[in-house]
Structure 1
Amino acid sequence: MPYKDPCKKFACEIQRCLKENDFQESRCLHCIENLRKCCVTWKPHSISCSGIDIESKDRNIDGAKKSDRNAI
């Protein structure tokens, strides 16, 4: 039986969303969060989770913690 990546559909949703929204990442945060949630469970078994920071729920799109931005 062929291997099926459990998070691939979420990675594809991100690509589709970015294309439909002129690659404005801020418009696809919901898709990114869906992939992150999948990767929390399936990262060891999903190639789609390579490079995904599953601890970054409290981060914005530029990687800074939201709480850190308020301190500036």
Structure 2
Amino acid sequence: MSGQKRDPCVKFSCILEKCTRINNYQADKCAKELEQMLDCCRKFGRKLSPSCEGFHELDEHFEKMEQQQQQQRQQRK
């Protein structure tokens, strides 16, 4: 390779893209693939993985949703 490092998350990005295409872009059918992509992006970040551009915002959105769900469960107790 010519001095460029390989994108560590591109594999997961391609898998996620293929899954969504096969399932007519119904994201709920690709939850496992999305989680794998998010895990990779959490591990390597945007600087090491250009494929993760935009996924950090999505990850933050999911984290906020999870926190809200936890708060709702605690309020019910």
Q: Which has the higher helix share?
A: 2
User: Which consecutive residues of structure 1, in runs of 5 or more, have no partner in the other structure?
Assistant: none
TM-score computed with the length of structure 2 as normaliser: 0.69
Change in Cα spacing, 1:22 to 1:55, as seen in structure 2 (3 Å) is closer
SS of the residue aligned with 1:22? Answer: coil
Q: For 1:20-59, list aligned pairs within 5 A.
A: 20-43=22-45, 44-53=47-56, 56=59, 59=62
Identity %: 26
How far apart, in 2, do the equivalents of 1:16 and 1:22 lie?
Answer: 10
User: RMSD between aligned alpha carbons?
Assistant: 2.8
Bigger Rg, structure 1 or 2: 2
Runs of 4+ in 1 over 4 A off after TM superposition: none
Q: Does 1:14 align with 2:23?
A: no
Is this contact kept in 2: 1:8–1:48, CA < 8 A?
yes
SS of the residue aligned with 1:65? Answer: helix
Change in Cα spacing, 1:54 to 1:41, as seen in structure 2 (3 Å) is farther
TM-score computed with the length of structure 1 as normaliser: 0.74
